[in-house]
A and B are shown apart, each in its own frame.
Chain A
Amino acid sequence: MVNMSGAEALVKALEKEGVKHIFGIPGGATLPIYDVLYDSDIRHILVRHEQAAAHAADGYARVSGRPGVCFATSGPGATNLVTGITNAYMDSVPIVAFTGQVPTSWIGKDAFQEADIVGITTPITKHNFQVQKASDIPRTVKMAFYIATSGRPGPVLVDLPKDIQIDHAEMEFDDEISLRGYKPTYEPHPIQVRRAAELLANAEKPMIIAGGGVIASNASEELIRLSEKILAPVATTLMGKGAIPEDHPLALGQLGMHGTLAANKLILEADVLLCVGMRFSDRTTGDPKKFCPDAKIIHVDIDSSEIDKNIKCYLPIVGDAKLTLHAINEALNVVLKEKRTEWMRKVKEFKAQWESSVKEGFTPPYLMKVLREILPKDAIVATEVGQNQMWAALYFKSYLPRTFVSSGGLGTMGFGFPAAIGAKVARPDRIVVDIAGDGSFMMNYPNLACAVSENIPVIIIVLNNSVLGMVAQWQRLFYGRRYSQVHLGGVPDFVKLAEAHGAQGLRAETVEEFRKAVKQAIESDVVTVIDVPISPEENVFPMIPAGKSYEDMIVEGS
């Protein structure tokens, strides 16, 4: 036991958890903590808005697999985190958010900068705490990190009243924590595993859908092994992108509302679907009543509440994706090459059809291909939300897990840039690119100041169509081109904007200029914004209109 202040105990507890980086902004209710941080080896990255702190922690966690940490003061600092925390919750990302709070004696009195952040974040965190006394800090920190990173990961918030940060107490750092209401299931049930293996072995046209759980549990190797063993093509959800290298002969790319032709067509034919670490979101299923009615669905998820929540499955397996895929691999000892020739022919055919759909030209799909050629295999790509995101998901091939960072469940415009900052902090050895839309980038671009002053050289490629493109696309397709509030007439000059922040600003108006600009950005290794003016009339296809099913897919020109 050591006597120290709550703030000192907090920083020590963070160090014990191996925390190396914190994203945040200080304020009145966190002054004692920031005073201790002044002497700590933990690097604090001063963002320009707390939303960015949460997104940066989120991006950090996604690419590193380690929990991301963000700090905010009480009241507005804490409420500014809310979008970022919700984003992490929807995508099951382990972040731990610490918020200052007014002193305990002032709680409930509407004190200056008091916000009930525990109440506010209850439905958007995996769990949250308000620490009641200084000596509880070490244990609470331990529990927060354990909960955030175990089972199905997710955000945890710890609210720290200011007096508790100041109070001194005897601190115990080696307490065993026990959470009797929380026992994640990792090991799949062997009988279910055997049944899954049998179903897959006997299937005519098996297909695998890999979700974010495959990435979270580092199960790529097991996934690829299984798909090769049973000759099942693999489609990914947005969160699962990178689970299988997208140049693999069995990789179909993204599935769903904006799925590839290959994935969206083949799923209609599959007779057994192995769905791993995914949650059947509406963006993946379309009309749930019409989602693959004839296929037998095996659903693997670590969170039992996902089983039968949106789609009733034929065979549920509750367990960790990696352990479960490994177990299914072990249980499968048949060789069935012959059986699948027709299926494999179809996979090849649809893939080829899809690949050939991208024509050379100054169009977003082609630019994504060009970008892929320039970037090294292990480069990390973050996206904003809208058409830019779907172009990246569809046409930028990811080769490795944890190299594609995108806001899936919440679809948060403004996520990509701060997430890229977090990703670059976690992986300074990698090239990190944010593929952005002009609308999204404008939501969080003030963090250019953060990236420049903290020397975090990320590259932002703004696919600048001067519209809220995805909304415009829906208005074009479903509202008779009545463009309501989507024109961003006053788009700033992004080159000057970058320069005003001390970053490099480049513009690319041809494929050649684009190539050159990306290379220059990589070589100069400074924060770079590349403005890429594109047509406001582009559509992202294929598309399944909201609430429709796979049969209703709209393909380009149809």
Chain B
Amino acid sequence: MERQTHIISALVEHKPGVLYSVSNMFRRRAFNIESITVGPAEQKDIARMTIVVNADERILEQVVKQLNKLIDVIKVSVLDPAASVVREMVLVKIHTPNSNVRSDVINYVNVFRGRVVDIAPDSLIVEITGDPDKINAFIDLVRNFGIKELARTGVTALSRGLKSVRI
């Protein structure tokens, strides 16, 4: 079976230990997590976890079932990529030794609809938001200038329109 990237959206109890039990389950069952993001959801005692996994259909089904089996996991859905908004943010500190490089970088940032959020004598910090492919493309583009530091948030996502993952 073919492996593919899947995005899972899970609503969980917003309390200590839940992230641990989720990540522990992934480790114990030898499922790979590509990224995991967590934050409060629409209701204050519930958090939303967005988990990206690379798996074939059979493993994906197991991942969903094993997540559902955890007592503190309330609801689990696999998002349809075509019907979801998928976003990730990256902060990149780029080496800009002279004004030529600096203006090249700023041009790229504009094309990617990003923002320059900090300027120092020989570097810039750039913020780009988009789907992971767009972020990969940007990183590839500026790699030659010299990336001093980079931080990606991991993917977060919601399904579009009427479809929603709620309790």
Contacts and interface: CB of A to CB of B under 8 A. Distances in A.
- Do chains A and B interact in one complex? yes
Interface of A: 118-119, 122-123, 126-127, 130, 147, 179-182, 303-305, 307-309, 312
A242 B66 CA distance: 30
Contacts of A126: 71
Interface in B51-75: 58, 61-62, 65-66, 68-75
Nearest to A305: B65
Contacts of A122: 17, 20-21, 24
B73 A181 contact: yes
B25, B58, B71 interface centre (most CB from chain A within 10 Å): B71
B13 interface: yes
A375 B69 CA distance: 41
Interface string B7-36: 000001100010011001100100000000
Contact of B20 (A119, A179, A181, A305): A119
Contact of A303 (B17, B61, B69, B72): B69
B68, B69, B70, B73 interface centre (most CB from chain A within 10 Å): B69
A351 B25 CA distance: 43
A123 B25 contact: yes
Contacts of A130: 17
B163 to A, nearest CB: 21
B68 A305 contact: yes
A119 B62 CA distance: 23
Contacts of B25: 123
Given A180-B167, A181-B12, A181-B73, A304 B68 contact: yes
Given A305-B65, A308-B61, A309-B62, A127 B24 contact: no
Contacts of B24: 122-123
B167 A305 contact: no
A127 B71 contact: yes
B70 A181 contact: yes
Contacts of A308: 58, 61-62
A147 B24 CA distance: 20
Given A123-B28, A305-B69, A308-B61, A181 B13 contact: yes
Nearest to B17: A118
B21 A305 contact: no
Contacts of B28: 123
A180 B46 CA distance: 11
A304 B63 CA distance: 12
Nearest to A179: B71
Contact of A305 (B12, B66, B74): B66
Nearest to B72: A181
30 contacts: A122-B21, A122-B24, A123-B24, A123-B25, A123-B28, A126-B71, A127-B71, A127-B72, A130-B17, A147-B71, A179-B71, A180-B167, A181-B12, A181-B70, A181-B71, A181-B72, A181-B73, A181-B74, A182-B71, A303-B69, A304-B68, A305-B62, A305-B66, A305-B68, A307-B65, A308-B58, A308-B61, A308-B62, A309-B62, A312-B58
Nearest to A151: B69
B97 to A, nearest CB: 46
A111 B54 CA distance: 41
Given A123-B24, A307-B65, 12 more contacts: A126-B71, A127-B72, A147-B71, A181-B71, A181-B72, A181-B73, A304-B68, A305-B65, A305-B69, A308-B61, A308-B62, A309-B62
Contacts of A179: 71
B32 to A, nearest CB: 17
Contacts of B72: 127, 181
A312 B59 CA distance: 12
Contacts of A303: 69
Nearest to B70: A181
B134 to A, nearest CB: 34
Contacts of B65: 304-305, 307
A312 B62 CA distance: 12
Contacts of B167: 180
A184 to B, nearest CB: 10
Contacts of A307: 65
Nearest to B76: A181
A122 B20 CA distance: 9
Contacts of A119: 20
A179 B74 CA distance: 9
Contacts of A180: 74, 167
B22 to A, nearest CB: 10
Contacts of A182: 71
A183 B69 CA distance: 9
A151 to B, nearest CB: 9
A309 B74 CA distance: 22
A53 B87 CA distance: 51
Nearest to B46: A180
A127 B74 CA distance: 14
Nearest to A309: B62
